[in-house]
Amino acid sequence: MEKAGIIEGPDGKCRCFWHQNLPDYIRYHDEEWGRPVVDDHRLFEKICLEGFQSGLSWLTILRKRENFRAAFAAFDFEKVALFDDTDVERLVADAGIIRHRGKIVSTINNARRAIELRDEFGSLARFFWSYEPKPEERPSAVDLEHLRANPTTAVSVRLSKDLKKRGWTFVGPTTVYAFMQAMGLVNDHIEGCCIREETEALRADFVRP
């Protein structure tokens, strides 16, 4: 079954292969990934953490997520936007996070851009959900072959370009598509995953902002 992108977990349930049967990764797969999110702070947190993930595994970031939240004021972008050079040095010295100066500076920059986006659209959620793909932009079936062949999509390219035009950084189309997958703008749980239909039902009931 692994060839199809599905593996059986210790509980006998079949899931997307990428959780590797690691308990914390299974919780993330089952309880977070792909479920629609409308909270602005969670949306901001995720797009920033996807930027930190660049060149690393998401598991590395996930296991440091609470440290990131402590370091970046729970990703309250109003607060992060006020960070200065002293905060940058504090964060570069913080062994609990990824000490990449460029990504740290990017997060502060993006917090300031997030305020501008919120002020223009009323919420980050309203902006990001306006990029939810239309049904005709989605595959007829989500399988391993499709996911491996499409680390980006036409929609994620458009969203990436829009964010970059607005001054956001570390928001390439691959990063943006991973954000869309995680925040429920698409349901990329593979066909046969025990969470796929539950996620689809949540998306069907979700009130778009």
Q: Which of 33, 45, 50, 177 is the catalytic position? A: 50
Phi, psi of 10 (to 5 degrees): -65, -20
- The DSSP code sequence of 23-57 is HHHHHHHHHTTTS----HHHHHHHHHHHHHHTTS-
Query: Residue 47 CB: number of other CB atoms within 10 A?
Result: 26
For residues 24 and 63, the answer to whether their CB atoms sit within 8 Å is yes
Structure tokens at 30: 């089952």
Find where tokens 């504090």 sit: 90
**Rounded distance between C-alpha atoms, residue 201 and residue 197, angstroms:** 6
Structure tokens at 96: 């609990």
28 labelled catalytic? yes
**Rounded distance between C-alpha atoms, residue 67 and residue 168, angstroms:** 23
25 labelled catalytic? no
50 labelled catalytic? yes
Q: Which of 25, 33, 58, 129 is the catalytic position? A: 58
Catalytic residues: 28, 50, 58
